[in-house]
């Protein structure tokens, strides 16, 4: 039985090749015969030769298209047939292997007596039952599940590795930016007389704006931990007469560990071990865990925003701008907004995990905040911040950053602004429309994909690049933004 099947397979294979060859020749001959018969009336018609040739050409093209269509169908049919033949071949091999088993071989090949029909039926049923074991559906389903699980594990590993690499790329300083800082410091060291400490400038109550209608009335209050910043503004003063007041963090002597909780936490042995020591128990493969361990979230420069009334005691209002924003329009109108006695005027972000606690609650983000410093002093917001920061020394309330502390500190003293004032997420959200960006007064590259990094989103990078001072010699030397 099995030999007959396998022999038929080989014989039919050789005959099928022979028949396919002649069938193809007959098919092609028939097609060209039909083409010739179809063109005879045209050749013997009374019309002009040019028309007849055009008809012949069109009919030939139609027949060629038909032949190609049939050829494509034949190729597809050949693939289907080959799959079926392979399946039949496997079945035949399986049956032949069963027949060669001792239990069945004695019946089919070594028996001298005729087997009755009932015994044949029983034997066939046993063979079918054993054959089904080779095609156990549950076994194949389990194998498929195992394969899917293994592939999913590889996918998760690849995602973690990708997120890990992206996080590292987001936190490293690009070569061009490092080069620019070194060039500025070299300039300061080489010409110290140009960068003597200036007399402090008078403080203004005007917004910090670049595109202001009256720039000479405005002042930039810049706080930094890099001396290169002062060199930059000495070499490239802002046009329009705007004032620049640059301070280092160390200049504010009231910031001591006995007053600022963050500085006191810097002295904590537990936090120093968590952030700075490299030990086996500190290692982690969790991308979020690694993000929590970034010391920048505990830096004084990052938490300085909670001390604005003490940094600038003569000011009544101040506009806070992050270092990853671009101001596209005049911000003067912000100073005319009635803040209703609130401390913080900001654009809401009414989505995300904050609504798990209160469906009607809205969060907001630092980046562009108008602060009423008189209301701040009245509400004692800095004391509120100190209370919550001390309470979170063991990082149980929140893991990192200044935003959670800000959301709690200004929870009941925040005024909502129109969304066109501040569009954020250009460093994380690729679906922000250009129409929304064009209407925005301030755009914010919040997220890990900052515009000066290699991992920046090309869709938005030009919005920042157009603000780079490409005429500055150090920028050109360092290929900044390239």
pLDDT at 329 over 80: yes
The CA distances from residue 181 to 30, 172, 231, 316, 475, in Å, are: 81, 14, 10, 34, 10
Q: How confident is the model at residue 216 (pLDDT cuts 50, 70, 90)?
A: low
pLDDT value at position 62?
75
Unique residue bearing structure tokens 């997220």: 447
Residue 39 confidence class, pLDDT cut points 50, 70, 90: low
Mean pLDDT of 268-291: 57
> Confidence band (pLDDT; 50, 70, 90) for 15?
very low
Residue 79 scores a pLDDT above 80: yes
Q: What pLDDT score was predicted for residue 3?
A: 32
- pLDDT tens digits, one per residue of 338-347: 999 999 999 9
Q: Looking at residues 47-75, what average pLDDT do you find?
A: 70
Quickly state the pLDDT bin for 479 (edges 50, 70, 90): confident
Structural contact between residues 432 and 425, judged by C-beta atoms closer than 8 angstroms: yes
pLDDT cut 70: percent of the chain above it: 66
Residue 434 pLDDT? 93
Lookup result for tokens 């193809």: 24
**312 compared with 284, residue with greater pLDDT:** 312
d(CA 407, CA 402): 9
d(CA 142, CA 77): 32
Confidence at residue 12, expressed as pLDDT on a 0 to 100 scale: 41
Q: Is the pLDDT of residue 179 over 50?
A: yes
Q: Which of 123-132, 291-300, 451-460 has the highest mean pLDDT?
A: 451-460
Q: 141-149: long-range contacts at Cβ-Cβ below 8 A with a sequence spacing of 24 or more? A: none
Radius of gyration of the chain (CA): 40
Strongest mean pLDDT among 88-97, 140-149, 320-329 = 320-329
Calculate the CA 41 to chain-centre distance.
67
Nearest alpha-carbon partner for 211 in 298, 331, 78: 331
**Percent of the chain, pLDDT > 90?**
19
Question: What is the residue extent of each domain of the chain?
Answer: 2-100, 172-477
* Nearest alpha-carbon partner for 442 in 313, 343, 338, 330: 330
Query: By 3-state DSSP, what share of the chain in percent is helix, strand and coil, each rounded to 5?
Result: 60, 10, 35
Q: From residue 195, how far is each of 182, 207, 231, 235 by CA, in Å?
A: 16, 26, 7, 10
- For 172-477, CATH gives 3.90.550.10
Enumerate residues 6+ apart whose C-beta is below 8 A from 386: 260, 261
Summarize the confidence of residues 460-471 as an average pLDDT: 88
Per-residue tokens: 417: 């602004």
400 against 189, higher pLDDT: 189
Q: How far apart are the first and last CA of the chain?
A: 75
CA distances, 439 to each of 191, 351, 421, 443 (Å): 44, 21, 9, 10
pTM above 0.75, yes or no: no
Which segment of 245-249, 272-276, 328-332 scores lowest on mean pLDDT? Answer: 272-276
Tokens at 375, concatenated: 């209301």
Closest CA to 211 of 330, 333, 334: 330
In 3D space, the residue among 342, 318, 319 whose CA is nearest the CA of residue 422 turns out to be 319
Q: Which residue, 106, 105, 104, is CA-closest to 123?
A: 104
Assess whether pLDDT exceeds 80 at residue 107.
Answer: no
Distance CA 1, CA 166 (A): 64
Give the pLDDT confidence score for residue 306 in this predicted structure.
Answer: 95
């Amino acid at each position: 039985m099995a030999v007959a099947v396998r022999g038929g397979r080989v014989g039919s294979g050789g005959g099928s090749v022979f028949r396919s060859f002649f069938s193809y020749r007959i098919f092609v001959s028939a097609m060209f015969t039909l083409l010739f018969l179809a063109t005879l009336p045209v050749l013997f018609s009374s019309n002009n030769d040019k028309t007849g040739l055009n008809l012949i050409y069109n009919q030939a093209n139609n027949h060629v298209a038909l032949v190609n269509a049939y050829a494509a169908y034949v190729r597809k049919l050949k693939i289907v047939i080959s799959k079926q033949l392979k399946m039949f071949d496997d079945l035949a091999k399986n049956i032949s292997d069963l027949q060669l088993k001792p239990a069945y071989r004695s019946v089919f090949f070594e028996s001298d007596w005729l087997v009755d029909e009932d015994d044949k039926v029983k034997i066939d049923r046993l063979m079918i039952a054993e054959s089904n074991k080779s095609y156990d559906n549950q076994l194949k389903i389990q194998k498929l599940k195992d394969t899917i699980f293994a592939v999913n594990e590889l996918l998760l590993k690849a995602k973690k590795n990708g997120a890990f690499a992206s996080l590292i790329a987001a936190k490293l300083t690009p070569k061009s930016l490092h080069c620019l800082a070194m060039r500025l410091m070299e300039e300061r060291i080489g010409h110290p007389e140009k960068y003597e400490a200036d007399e402090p400038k008078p403080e203004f109550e005007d917004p910090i704006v670049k595109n202001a209608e009256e720039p000479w009335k405005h002042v930039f209050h810049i706080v930094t931990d890099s001396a290169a910043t002062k060199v930059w503004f000495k070499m490239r003063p802002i046009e329009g007469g705007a004032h620049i007041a640059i301070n280092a963090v160390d200049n504010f002597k009231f910031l001591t560990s006995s007053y600022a909780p963050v500085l006191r936490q810097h002295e904590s042995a537990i936090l120093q071990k968590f952030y700075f020591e490299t030990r086996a128990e500190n290692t982690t493969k969790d991308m979020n865990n690694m993000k929590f361990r970034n010391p920048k979230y505990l830096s004084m420069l990052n938490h300085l925003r909670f001390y604005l009334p003490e940094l600038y005691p003569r000011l009544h209002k101040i506009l806070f701008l992050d270092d990853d924003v671009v101001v596209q329009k005049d911000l003067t109108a912000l100073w005319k907004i009635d803040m209703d006695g609130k401390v913080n005027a900001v654009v809401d972000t009414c989505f995300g995990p904050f609504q798990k606690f209160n469906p009607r609650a809205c969060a907001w983000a630092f980046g562009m905040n108008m602060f009423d410093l008189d209301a701040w002093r009245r509400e004692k917001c800095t004391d509120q911040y100190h209370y919550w920061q001390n309470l979170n020394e063991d990082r149980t309330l929140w893991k990192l950053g200044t935003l959670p502390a800000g959301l709690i500190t200004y929870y009941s003293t925040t005024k909502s602004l129109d969304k066109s004032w501040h569009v954020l997420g250009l460093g994380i959200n690729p679906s922000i429309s250009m129409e929304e960006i064009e209407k925005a007064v301030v755009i914010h590259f919040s997220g890990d994909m900052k515009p000066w990094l290699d991992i920046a989103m090309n869709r938005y990078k030009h919005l920042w690049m157009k603000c780079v001072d490409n005429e500055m010699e150090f920028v050109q030397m360092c290929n900044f933004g390239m």
